[in-house]
Amino acid sequence: MSTVAPPPSLDDIRACFEGAIPAQVATCARDGTPNVAYISQVYYVDDRHMALSFQFFNKTRQNILANPYATALLLDPVTVAFYRLQLRYLRTETSGALFERMKAQLSGIASHSGIAGVFRLLGSDVYEVESSKASKAGAWRRRRRATDCWRVCGARPSASPHAARPTSCCRRCSRRSTTTSTCATRWC
Amino acid sequence: VAATARIAVVFSEPLSHRTVQVKAREAELRAATEDDMPLLRRYRVSMEHEVGCLGYDGHVIQTMLSFRLDDVVAIRFSPVEALDQTPGPKAGTALPATSAA
């Protein structure tokens, strides 16, 4: 019996929020003109909310103030799987715990990227995540890896829900995959 | 793109952070074919080199950009607007158009 994988929650894809790889965020102006930009910082707020750094009054910011819907494409730096999130802008925080945490993380990202001094946090733009899904390409890669593991050790692939943290997918062959620990116990 | 024929695409060079966004109004979609493979391979090799300079193994990019040709859509368009999006206060500045020879 085939099962439909549930959409990944933000808890499942926490690695995407570590700031290792910039995310792409697409917005749309009131007249329908699209805009897409790399965003250096996407921040996990809770399982339903994330925040983007507001550093300059750029087109992304102009657009979300006029039209609050956005799409973010995140890349897991460990599994290299893509995730597409549908977002709705809620508010901007310019002080408080979230703002201070993002400010500290942004400083680290800027330093790591070799462009310290360029980034200055003006606000934390908080978004509700209305839906999320693993990209088709990512899903295909995970299917391929599951097949590879089966070929090596004969372990039966389960219906992997979606990528989370990498774990040893199979105790027999110790191959690493993008499956969850739940899958590991099912497989072997 | 299918609904409006409008498109915005962003390109970034990881080593220099130089980033450019281009926009178009009359984008055309078609399925990718074997004829597109040389271009796709060249892009992947180029990205492997670029990101490799940052210390990432080639297999990271190979995995990131792995694809099945029947999943790939080719989009043809002529940019009508280009913007400098290199991180910093000048991000979003329009790039001047150059007249065709």
Is residue A89 predicted with pLDDT exceeding 70? yes
Q: What is the pLDDT of residue B66?
A: 87
Of the partner residues B66, B68, B87, the one whose CB lies closest to the CB of residue A40 = B87
Chain B contact for A117 (CB, 8 A cutoff): no
Q: What is the pLDDT of residue B39?
A: 94
Q: Which of B6, B35, B37, B34 is nearest to B22 (CA)?
A: B6
Q: What is the pLDDT of residue B54?
A: 82
Q: What is the pLDDT of residue A41?
A: 87
Chain A contact for B52 (CB, 8 A cutoff): no
- Residue B33, SS3 per DSSP: coil
Backbone angles phi, psi at B15, to 5 degrees: -70, -40
A33 vs B97 pLDDT, higher one: A33
Distances (CA, A) of A73 to A17, A42, A180, B90: 12, 10, 21, 23
- Helix (H) or strand (E) holding A91, with range, is strand A82-93
Residue for token pair 């300079």: B53
Q: What is the pLDDT of residue A148?
A: 41
Chain A contact for B86 (CB, 8 A cutoff): no
> Using a CB-CB distance cutoff of 8 angstroms, which residues of chain B are in contact with residue A32?
4, 6
Strand partners, A71: A26, A86
Of the partner residues B21, B63, B89, the one whose CB lies closest to the CB of residue A141 = B63
Residue for token pair 């409006």: B4
Q: What ipTM goes with this model?
A: 0.85
> Using a CB-CB distance cutoff of 8 angstroms, which residues of chain B are in contact with residue A34?
6-8, 23
Is residue A178 predicted with pLDDT exceeding 80? no
Is residue A129 predicted with pLDDT exceeding 80? yes
Highest mean pLDDT (candidates A49-53, A150-154, A167-171, B83-87): A49-53
Of the partner residues B10, B17, B91, the one whose CB lies closest to the CB of residue A56 = B91
Q: Residues A60, A71: contact at Cβ < 8 Å?
A: no
Is residue B67 predicted with pLDDT exceeding 80? yes
Q: What is the pLDDT of residue A4?
A: 64
Confidence of residue A114 (pLDDT cuts 50, 70, 90): low
Is residue A14 predicted with pLDDT exceeding 60? yes
Chain B contact for A136 (CB, 8 A cutoff): yes
Average pLDDT, chain A: 75
